[in-house]
Amino acid sequence: MNLHLLPPEIEKAHGDFAGHLEACADLDAVMRLKGAYLGRDGSFAARMIDILKAAPKEQKRELGAAINALKNKWEESLKARQSALEELRRQRAAQAQSWDATLPPPLPPRGALHPLTRLIDRLVGIFRPLGYHVEEGPEAETEAHNFDGLNIPEDHPARGSADTFYFKDHPKMLLRTHTSPVQVRVLKRLAPVIEQKGGVRFLAPGRVYRKDEIDPTHSPMFHQVEGMLVGRGIGMHHLKGTLDYAIKALFGPDAATRFRPSYFPFVEPGCEVDARCPLCGGAGCRVCKGAGWVEILGAGLVHPDVLKFAGIDSDTWSGFAFGMGIERIAMMVSQTPDLRLFFENDQRFLAAMGGLD
Ligand code: DAH
């Protein structure tokens, strides 16, 4: 090919051609390249025709031959690339249809326990070696168990229909507002045998209900775990030792607890317990709102009236109780900013929480 008769821009275009062609990943790209080199208007071929027309007569033959050779070469190469890509497409389609009976089958996605269930199971596992077993109570409770037996006064705001779901046809029935009524049920059941058993200790996980609007930190249904121990000569030191052990087991050996006096009608004295923020170690962060401590449960020494209500002699027996919100703790340890994620069952969230394979 006598490329020297053609201007440098055409020579360069030819030099680039093989590289451009190589880069064509599909048939559309080949068609575009073809347009640029051989199309009717504006292509290199069109420009060469113009050059041929303008060339002196004596050069026309040789120039014409060079142009034809070049165009033929481009055309052949384009065709070859086109067939190669078509063949590749056929092969891919054939491959997609064929299957290998010796390959292991694709596994269906596996389910797993919900993150809240796993946290509850962990707590149960922490208390089991201390002799605690698991008790359950009904979610549809009586006023007597949810309030009366827990020494909650008649005029306590929590008893109002603004806070508590009551059953329309059963005015003395409600959806329990905490897991504490399980204390009343278990104490009543075990009162006749408490002497033989030497006391009572149990954990009671479950759902509770309150008339709260749904927002990132509230839900009308959430989970609590109640704990109770009744024995002889039980005091605040037993409660502190037990909770300190449990919180270290939950958050790690560096965890620390802080007890603040507080009031709940069913305990005396009552307290709220904070854990040193497990995320920042007390330095202050978003999760603990700079305080370095996060409130994780309410607790106290069982009020004598609670024991009496259940038929247990409060001169002989004493105990402690505690109750914690599971979602609060789950949000904290997983740094989940929105409580609703735990109820929406978005598989992406569950997978991120390690709940799915
Ligand atoms: N029932 C309380 C609540 O829902 C939590 C609680 C506080 C439980 C003190 C207890 C306790 O057993 O001793 O807010």
How many domains does the chain contain in total? Answer: 2
pLDDT tens per residue, range 149-159: 999 999 999 99
Cα 44 to averaged position of ligand 1 atoms, centre (Å): 85
Range of the domain at 90: 3-98
Q: How many C-beta atoms surround the C-beta of residue 89 within 10 A? A: 12
Q: Best substitution site from 203, 266, 273 to test ligand 1's pocket, by max atoms within 8 Å of Cβ?
A: 266
In whole angstroms, what is the distance from residue 319 CA to residue 304 CA?
9
Q: Are both 303 and 165 inside the same structural domain?
A: yes
Using DSSP's 3-state secondary structure scheme, residue 211 falls into coil
Q: Best substitution site from 180, 297, 302, 328 to test ligand 1's pocket, by max atoms within 8 Å of Cβ?
A: 180
**CA-closest residue to ligand 1 atom 2:** 323
Q: Specify the CATH number for the domain of residue 342.
A: 3.30.930.10
**CA-closest residue to ligand 1 atom 13:** 299
Q: Are both 163 and 312 inside the same structural domain?
A: yes
Q: Are both 82 and 159 inside the same structural domain?
A: no
Q: Are both 340 and 232 inside the same structural domain?
A: yes
Cα 347 to averaged position of ligand 1 atoms, centre (Å): 33
pLDDT at 240: 97
**CA-closest residue to ligand 1 atom 5:** 323
Q: Identify the residue whose tokens are 């029935």.
A: 173
Q: Are both 206 and 311 inside the same structural domain?
A: yes
The residues lining ligand 1, judged by C-beta closer than 6 Å to any ligand atom, are: 178, 180, 226, 264, 267, 298-300, 321-323
On whether residue 109 sits in a domain, the answer given is: no
Q: Which one has a higher pLDDT value, 102 or 145?
A: 145
What DSSP line would sit under 40-74, residue for residue?
SSSSHHHHHHHHHHHS-GGGHHHHHHHHHHHHHHH
Q: Is the pLDDT of residue 199 over 60?
A: yes
Q: Are both 130 and 92 inside the same structural domain?
A: no
On whether residue 318 sits in a domain, the answer given is: yes
pLDDT tens per residue, range 49-104: 888 898 899 988 888 888 999 999 999 999 999 999 999 999 988 888 887 889 89
Cα 240 to averaged position of ligand 1 atoms, centre (Å): 15
Overall average pLDDT of the 216-240 stretch? 97
Cα 192 to averaged position of ligand 1 atoms, centre (Å): 25
pLDDT at 135: 98
Q: Which atom of ligand 1 is nearest to the CA of 226?
A: 12
> What pTM value is reported for the model?
0.72
Q: Are both 74 and 153 inside the same structural domain?
A: no
On whether residue 19 sits in a domain, the answer given is: yes
